[in-house]
Structure 1
Amino acid sequence: MEAQARAILEKHHDNFLEDGNAVPAPARRVVGNFNVDDAKPVARRFRSIRPEHLRKAYDQLEKLFQTELIEYSHSEWASPIVIRMKKNGGDIRTCIDYRIAIQLIKLTHYPLPLIDDLLIGFESVLWVLSLAMAKRLWAVPMTLWAKHISVLICLLRHFQWTKMLLGLKNAPPICQQMLVNCLWSFVRLPASEAAQMDVDGLAFLGIDVGDSAEEDLSTLIEGMTVFGRNVPSSPQLNSVRGERPYICDIGYGTETWEQLCVDLDRRLYRLRYWGTSVSLLKNKFGKKRFSHEIEADRIQAQSKIAEGVIDLPSPSTLRDVQPFLASLNYYDEFIESLPVIAAVLNKLTDEQIRSGRDLGRAMEALRILKRKTVSTPLLRGPDSQKSFVIIIHANPWAACTVLGQESDGVFIPVHITGRVLHDHKFRYHPAENEVVALIRALRVFRAMLAGTKLIKVYNRYSMLKWICTSRSLEGRCRQLAVCFWKFARFSWMTMVWPQSWELRLPPPRDKLDQNDDNIIQVTGRVIQSPPVRLETLGPRCEGWLMSFDGHAKKSDRWGSAGCILWELLSWDVVQARGSHFADVTVNEAEYHGMIEGSKMALVRGISEMVIVGDSRIAIQQARGLIQCLKPRLRMLLSEFEDQRQEFKSIELVPVKRGFNAAANYLASKI
């Protein structure tokens, strides 16, 4: 079997790209572009680079310049380079801060497939093959306008990208569109470019480049992409099997090894036709799909795979935690209360992991998730002749639901779903969270519940009582009735867990709540600002304090900002400054006051400072407690973050308006 696959790979040897910084051949008739409408160019200031890292950054930029991936630029756009240290402590990673440019780029509507959809159809598959495109985005050239937006700035020079890069918005959909057309072949290449393929490939695909009616096309459309020309492909290029690629990867499986080799040969010919290179080292050819051993009385995970999961070391950085949580997305249908258990790992910080502080609950959650991952799933296919049971687990931070059926006096799980609650849902009543879980269950399990005569709902709180007595419903009873009318009859009951159910379903409700409390505190999911007051600084505290405020008029949108620099020991005013701004809101004026005050402190060489103000938006967004969604506020927040890097320590403290009277008076009288 291996000889047959090796012969196919050797035949397509030229289509594979070596690993490293090798640049693939340019894509044929495909370009990348960005739409920012009438947005003004954004030029951000460069960030300083330490002298010991400057040479390493130069070497990385020189390699990109020699491979013609970047070139000199005179664009009005600019995004700064950010240096990050790698795990070994010696090498650097050069990143580009495109956050502001991404806010202005319009998102394309080309869809990306869901991971769950890509896994459909692998039920009867024995052999699996995955193909990874070699730096496919580097093969997509960009238009002149897209190059101007991609400009990066550092101490060395302005550079702009000549090929597409993954960090910019719409790059994944562009690559997805290319790969879908490559496999499904809706449109075809011009005859002049199709002739660049070797004779064997053209003969295999059944393409005749001599007989073409498109050579007399006008020069106006000669430079168009294949999606702009819209020339339908020949029937010989139509897809033989259903293809579902994902950005730069192709994964499929077959029942037999012979069929796998035939499909591999066809796909490699199609990739050669479109000039797509394949990464040899990242591919997997002919891997057996089975990860579980099937015995006469049970199904269990293979011991080698199970040991590898159980023996996973404790994470040392936040980057080690994220891949583990991402891999658990494939098991969300088999692990009950997955959002509840994984929430404690989601709230970890890199500083907390490195210092080893308060990791007891996180290590317990990690141990539980590893054990549940390698354990045998207990799900059973639904029986349409039996009634269904919906069991709700709702907490202040997550809502999970189990769909089950009774068999011999034991509830057997059929399907599991859950989600983590965000933002305003933290303030929900527990019964409201159960309603959220129930509505989600009815939506997710709709196909299985159709035609069911009786549905039993087990919940902890009196959901019906809350629906009938809550004053904040405002018509929600009708909305719930619309959700329930499709089903014949509901039976509501309080959650009661017999001890015999522990064998097939998770522990009783009281034990489940006890485990949840041991893993995550209820208030741990809500980020609350500590009640810091000026009096806590102490009468003998030395240092610097900056207070700021801002005002704006709705009539003409003219605003003003004031900032005052204080010396803490004597509370003497060192410097005060006021500024005018046009076309600003109140929040933007307050941001300007905070930025101007920081500039005033940097000029005096101050490295540690306390910033106070009565602006809830500016202070909490700068502290990362609330999201910054408006693009103009994001630009100001990014400017403040750039200044913050030059300080050794900055403490942001919100105060009441009465304690910020000086800055308020200065801003209102300018």
Structure 2
Amino acid sequence: MFVSGEADQFSLVPVFGRRSFVHDICFGDESYDSCRETLVRLLSRFEECRISASFTKSIFVQPTVDFLSHAVSREGLRADAKKLKAIAELSFPKTKKGVQAFLGALNYYSRFIQDFAVYGAALYQVREEDFGPGGDLSTAQRSFKALQTKVADVPILKHFDGAKEVHVMLFANDWALSTTLMHEHDGVMHPVRFCGRVLKDNEVNYHPAEKEVLALLLLLKTCYTQLTGRTINAYTRFSTLGWINTSKTLFGRSTQFAVMLSPWHLVVHRVTEDDSAFAQLRHSTITNFVGLDKALQRVAPPSKRTPMVRMDPELLYARLPNDHRGFVLSFDGSAKTPKRGGYESCAWILWRLPDWTIEIAASAYLENTTVNPAEYMGMNEGLRAVQAYGATDLVVVGDSRLAIQQSLGVIACLKESLLTQLNIHRELVARFQSVRYRHVTREYNASADSLAGDTLATKEAKTTLTEESRSKLEQLNRIHEVIYERPNREVTQVSTLRALPEDMVTQRGNFFDFAHKPSADDVDPLEVQEERRRRVGRAQDEELRWANLKLVLKGESSSLGYKAALEAWKMADRFVLSDDGLLYFLGENRRWGKDRMNETVLRLVVPTTMVQEVLQSCHDSLEGGHQGIVRTFHRIKADYYWIGLYAEVERHVRSCPDCSSSKSRPQLRGYCPGNILVERPLQIVSMDFVIPLPKSRRGNTALLLFQCAFTGFVMAKAMSDTSALCIAQAFEEYVNRRFGAAPLVRHDRDPRFMSEVFQAFAEMMQSRSRATLSYRPQANGQQERTVKTVMQLVRVYAEAPLQQDWDEIVERQVFAINNSQDTTRKETPFYLVHGWDAQSILKAMASSLIRGFGKQSDTLVWRREINRQQEIG
């Protein structure tokens, strides 16, 4: 490759003897001589590849070159001034197609327009109906004018320079994202590229800090080849981006963002309104993102699934003067869930103002419907009753926000069952002179709610009410508290804000502005482990058996009774007490060897109240991996002790719903004709594919497993490309780099394993490649069994509905498999390979960070010497 990016020496030439033509090649350099050298190399390469270039159409040694409707110069990249001038002089289109043509013309130059998606969002949502009578195009026209203004002042985009630092400015509001890529020239930030997009439906409700993370991810995807491997200085309004990039205690979407940002090196700079240093760094063509939200409200598009008209919430709902005379209809619907019967009811009450007397009060019993249709039916039946009564002006009041706002046209109705009721409602409303709406909360609509609840309880419709029932409903009525206009109170306002200093006037903050940024410095590992050990010791003291044993080990057995002291003395020889009061069991070392026969291992005594926690950690968690009764027992036995350990483990594993639902009974398909003899670790490495798998969030679709035939040690590699070359690279990375070349590689007859590429790789590593027979996969049975185990564990722990997190689970499950004791080898594969046992999280939390057990060892030696002298005596 050239330094500037053109292809240079390459051995391949066209196979067919045909000629090709090429156009639209633009290059430049710092000096004339370097440009001439590049041209000579380019023309020589054209001759080798039989590519022709028209000399008459070529231009050389130009300060500015017109290239694909752009003006390319040493200063940077300009847009075509003639085309931009034509766009800036356009009038507002009269059809939707004209708006689309305008956006299409601008889309080609969107990299020159900062916040293009922010200003153009309203134009993308224009409909044909908006150009007819009653249509509202005010927001679209403001967006059109704003884009024309930006087109007239498009900046010069600097060329991307790999030698300069990368600076990124992030912005996000309620409907769009925007990102600015910048370079620093002469102490001022100049734009290199603008990019952005409109938010998706599920992203609209994200916090602004999360939206800025989406803006950063958009830029990293768009400019991946330019930004990869570089340090990125990100300027943001929130400190959340830096917290996501460094914190180790994340959950939810923050975890996904942290995973996607993990390959990048970010330096986050938080910018506030009073940050004058950042304002001085910006070039005049770059708009500051701080405080921009208020200025953009005039071009805010309507939210999706809503009509185009944006209405003031204060004008949506009716308010009545205090002396109003007329009628108010209140309605409500109630329902029981299918588990409790699946029936519904609705009620409606007509009130006469200003006395708030009941003119009509009725209810209906419904079947086979839900709450929202019941609310609609209550409103529609009430309108029918009011029409029969003879009222022409009406105010409808209810606690169903959905029914009220869909009737007003504030939100769209997309459900067919509700759309039918909405059409009926509109037909009924057309028969009145005036219908206004008021949404109230349930506490103010207590009268209709009580009537609907009584109908739901008795399962009988009510058309007439007794005087007692009417008086009860009138007492429950609280609509008058919210429906009347607020009284105008003349309040003398004193402008005290002007007298305050400017630095004392602050804006309202949110949670992310005041939340403490988690840091590892806030947690002292010693304090955490001391607290954990203190709780374990206190739980041991709460059990009589262990409390008596502690008293005996402390030499305070005089406070115990004869039987209690006798029982404690019988067990005392097998237990030891630590300096901080924790009780340990002296277990025998399970390792083989003459030098280890007399060694003991301290196993923490687990109180009854903490048994389930240990079982959850060693069996149900990702470290445990649902490894069955025997393996779970050996895992717990290595570090913990309590009476009835095996029985408790057996009961827990047999009652585990994941184990019983995800694992099948073992099937005997025939006895093995003979195994390959292995004499040392990594002498024979077997490999197999698990394919196909759902596409994960990382883009992986296959799992490649390696396993040592001697130790059973498993290695896993999630892959998106399963070509023979990628397999060879994975084998070299996971096996050869860590353990050296394996003398023998065992695999099945997969075409990728049998290909010439992989066979040549094995020969280069001086490894023999042996494939099993197609009709007998049991010859590589250990590997096939591991494949089954891994996929069973993935089914247990998969949380995503589409199982897109399987590659993340596999990485953790390999640790669980390698640290489970093998029934045949009597050791864990991890120990056989490394010579030491990996420590679990639970053991690390319960252990002490104080290095050395000198005092415990001295105590143990002293007690053994006392016992020996007692035996001699």
> Which TM-score applies when normalising by structure 2?
0.36
User: Which has the larger Rg?
Assistant: 2
Q: Which has the higher contact order (CA 8 A, sep 6+)?
A: 1
